[in-house]
């Protein structure tokens, strides 16, 4: 069954530049996301084991607690806080092509011709770890050629998220039609708003359940709160744009995902994979 947004949801997105959609991400997609992330965790744990940082990989621990426990055991080493290249594979391609997510993007973008934007991330948000606290920012600060385009971000948690364990906050009504220059945050080394601009915002916390999707434009200011729980806060964020207006940054590692008019232009997995061959593993 396809996902259909209500007129109220579409109007809310158009007015506020974000919308929270409840229970629209199917279980098959959530399971796929966990498999994608689980593979990355296993590779990270294997590396720590080979380096002698841990002596027990603790496979019996659950998905929310295994990485944080092993990270503690290993002496809290730095790692890829926003893996991208290491997620590339058939499962990631299938996740990006998930029909329910394409349905959502199609309606928010107002076109049947939808492309995947090449920037996507898994977010392993561990407790007591300042360097993964994403500050207030606009996504287009990372791909400035989308300033006058429309790229929709879809953020999905893999467990319940609240203000306690790092839900997102959004700031509708501020700078959502203007791309700010941005600065590098001194505490986290993430690109984001200046402290002066961030101080003007009025945050709205968005608490969510697995299966929910938070959709927002490339200009909406947002941030992630600290994780004060004892478990990892896992999420996936992906992006879509209209094929006819696809940006250079989006097309670099993106692809045509849905084209009812010209289905032969939809990318194959092999075509997408070829776009990553020159990018080394471990890259953000």
The angle, 0 to 180 degrees and rounded to 10, between the axes of the packed helices 7-16 and 99-109 is: 60
- % of the chain beyond a pLDDT of 70: 99
Residue 18 has pLDDT above 70, yes or no: yes
Q: How confident is the model at residue 134 (pLDDT cuts 50, 70, 90)?
A: confident
Is the model's pLDDT at 284 over the cut of 80? no
Confidence of residue 182 (pLDDT cuts 50, 70, 90): confident
Residue 280, pLDDT score: 87
Measured between alpha carbons, how far is 233 from 64 in angstroms, rounded to an integer?
Answer: 7
- Give CB contacts under 8 A, 24+ apart, made by 53-57: 53/77
pLDDT band at 244 (very low <50, low <70, confident <90, very high): very high
Starting at the edge strand found earlier in the chain, the sheet holding 204-206 runs: 204-206, 168-170, 222-224
Residue in 157, 246, 173, 171 with CA at minimum distance from that of residue 207: 157
Q: What are phi and psi of 274, to 5 degrees?
A: -65, -20
When pLDDT is averaged across residues 246-268 and rounded to a whole number, the result is 97
User: So what's the pLDDT on residue 131?
Assistant: 78
Residue 167's pLDDT band (cuts 50, 70, 90):
very high
Average pLDDT, the chain: 95
The model's confidence at residue 188, banded by pLDDT at 50, 70 and 90, is confident
**Residue 179 banded pLDDT, cuts 50, 70, 90:** very high
| pLDDT higher than threshold 80 for residue 282 | no
Across 84-218, where does the E strand assignment appear?
Answer: 114-116, 121-125, 151-157, 168-170, 183-184, 191-192, 204-206, 213-217
Which are the contacts of 41, defined by CB distance < 8 A and separation ≥ 6? 66, 67, 124
Q: What are the φ and ψ backbone dihedral angles of 241, each rounded to 5 degrees?
A: -145, 160
Q: Which domains does the chain have, with CATH numbers?
A: 7-26+87-274 (2.60.120.620)
Summarised one tens digit per residue, pLDDT across range 42-92 is 999 999 999 999 999 999 999 999 999 999 999 999 887 788 999 999 999
pLDDT-derived band of residue 100, with 50, 70 and 90 as boundaries?
Answer: very high
Q: What's the pLDDT band for 178 if we cut at 50, 70, 90?
A: very high
Q: Cα(179)–Cα(193) distance, rounded to whole angstroms?
A: 10
Mean pLDDT of 13-30: 98
213-217 and 18-21: which strand pairing? Answer: antiparallel
Q: What is the mean pLDDT of residues 15-34?
A: 97
What does the pLDDT read at residue 201?
Answer: 96
Mean per-residue pLDDT for 240-267? 97
């Amino acid at each position: 069954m396809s996902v259909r947004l209500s007129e109220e949801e579409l109007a809310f997105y158009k007015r506020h530049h974000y919308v929270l959609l409840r229970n629209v991400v199917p279980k098959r997609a959530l399971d796929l996301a966990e498999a994608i992330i689980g593979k990355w965790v296993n590779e990270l744990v294997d590396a720590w084991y080979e380096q002698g940082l841990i002596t027990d990989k603790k496979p019996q621990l659950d998905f929310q607690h295994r990485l944080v426990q092993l990270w503690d055991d290993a002496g809290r080493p730095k790692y890829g806080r926003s893996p991208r290249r290491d997620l590339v594979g058939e499962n990631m391609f299938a996740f990006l092509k998930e029909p329910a997510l394409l349905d959502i993007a199609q309606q928010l973008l107002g076109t049947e011709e939808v492309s995947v934007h090449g920037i996507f991330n898994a977010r392993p948000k561990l407790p007591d770890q300042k360097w993964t606290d994403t500050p207030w920012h606009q996504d287009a600060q990372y791909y400035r050629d989308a300033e006058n385009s429309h790229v929709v971000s879809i953020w999905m948690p893999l467990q319940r998220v609240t203000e306690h364990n790092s839900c997102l906050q959004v700031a509708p009504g501020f700078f959502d039609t203007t791309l700010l220059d941005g600065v590098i945050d001194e505490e986290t080394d993430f690109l984001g708003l200046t402290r002066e601009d961030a101080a003007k915002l009025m945050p709205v916390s968005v608490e969510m359940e697995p299966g929910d999707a938070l959709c927002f434009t490339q200009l909406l200011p947002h941030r992630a709160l600290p994780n004060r729980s004892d478990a990892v806060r896992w999420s996936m964020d992906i992006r879509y744009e209209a094929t006819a207006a696809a940006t250079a940054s989006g097309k670099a590692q993106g692809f045509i995902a849905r084209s009812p008019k010209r289905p032969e232009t939809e990318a194959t997995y092999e075509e997408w994979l070829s776009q990553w061959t020159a990018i080394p593993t471990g890259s953000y």
